[in-house]
């Protein structure tokens, strides 16, 4: 498996090696030791989620308060999707920047999103299925929504005819500037301290 950092610090692309023969193929979608070696901290799976969307559906942008935070590894199990990660950590050197990655089921690739980053995606095919490995369980009181069509972010959503299918909750979510003014965004230094504690726990657990 190849694991490499993406343009937004705290996000990584996981690319498995596909082993194929006349029957089909096999690959490792996640390996804890390889992840920890590449990212510098472990990933503990507390919850797994799946969503199925028709072409043109946009879900997100979503993030959480830090702490408690929630990191994710997202992968496409069926179809294809346009994955977008946005740095919404107030005080980050890359605040407001984003990373676009196309994930296809055939490749087995996945994206890791650290705590404090916002995430969303657009389904590029009908019946697109995305899976989420989550580092913590869903906690509704700690969820934050960000408008995916915030004009200041100007995210390049790939949707047919420019007409996305989106929930009313996501469409009505506040802009990045509004969340910043309300003091609701995760702070960059809080995220770094949180990541350091997670890495420290890994060191303490080693024999």
Tens of pLDDT along 170-201?
999 999 999 999 999 999 999 998 877 655 45
Average pLDDT of span 59-66: 95
| Within a domain: 166 | yes
d(CA 159, CA 102): 13
Predicted pLDDT at 197: 65
* Residues whose CB is less than 8 angstroms from the CB of residue 140 and which lie 6 or more positions away in sequence, other chains included: none
| Within a domain: 74 | yes
Per the annotation, the verdict on 27 as an active-site residue is: no
Predicted pLDDT at 137: 95
| Within a domain: 202 | no
Active-site position among 27, 132, 142, 187: 132
Active-site position among 62, 65, 119, 195: 62
- For the chain, percent of residues with pLDDT exceeding 90: 86
d(CA 83, CA 148): 12
Domain carrying residue 189: 2-57+70-197
| Within a domain: 22 | yes
d(CA 54, CA 154): 23
| Within a domain: 135 | yes
Give the number of domains in the chain: 1
Q: Which residues pair with 57 in a beta bridge?
A: 165
| Within a domain: 8 | yes
In this structure, what CATH number is given to the domain that contains residue 178? 2.60.120.10
Average pLDDT of span 80-91: 97
Q: Does pLDDT of 130 surpass 50?
A: yes
Q: Does pLDDT of 21 surpass 50?
A: yes
Q: Does pLDDT of 31 surpass 80?
A: yes
Q: Does pLDDT of 203 surpass 60?
A: no
| Within a domain: 123 | yes
Among residues 101, 143, 142, 95, the alpha carbon closest in space to that of 14 is found at 101
| Within a domain: 65 | no
Per the annotation, the verdict on 132 as an active-site residue is: yes
42-72 burial, b for 16+ CB within 10 Å, e for fewer? ebeeeeeeeeebebbbbbbbbbbbbeebbbb
């Amino acid at each position: 498996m190849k694991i490499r950092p993406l343009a937004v610090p705290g996000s990584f692309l996981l690319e498995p090696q596909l082993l194929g023969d006349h029957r089909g193929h096999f690959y490792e979608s996640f390996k804890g030791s390889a992840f920890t070696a590449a990212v510098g901290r472990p990933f503990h799976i507390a919850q797994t989620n799946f969503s199925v969307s028709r072409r043109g559906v946009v879900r997100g942008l979503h993030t959480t308060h830090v702490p408690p935070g929630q990191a994710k590894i997202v992968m496409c199990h069926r179809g294809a999707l346009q994955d977008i990660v946005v740095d919404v950590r107030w005080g980050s050197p890359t605040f407001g920047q984003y990373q676009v990655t196309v994930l296809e089921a055939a490749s087995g690739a996945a994206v890791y999103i650290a705590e404090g980053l916002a995430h969303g995606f657009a389904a590029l095919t009908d019946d697109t299925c995305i899976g989420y490995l989550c580092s913590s369980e869903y906690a509704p009181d700690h969820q934050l929504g960000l408008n995916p069509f915030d004009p200041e972010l100007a995210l390049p959503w790939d949707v047919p005819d420019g007409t996305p299918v989106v929930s009313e909750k996501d469409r009505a979510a506040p802009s990045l500037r509004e969340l910043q003014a309300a003091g609701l965004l995760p702070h960059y230094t809080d995220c770094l301290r949180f990541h350091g504690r997670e890495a420290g726990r890994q060191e303490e657990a080693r024999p």
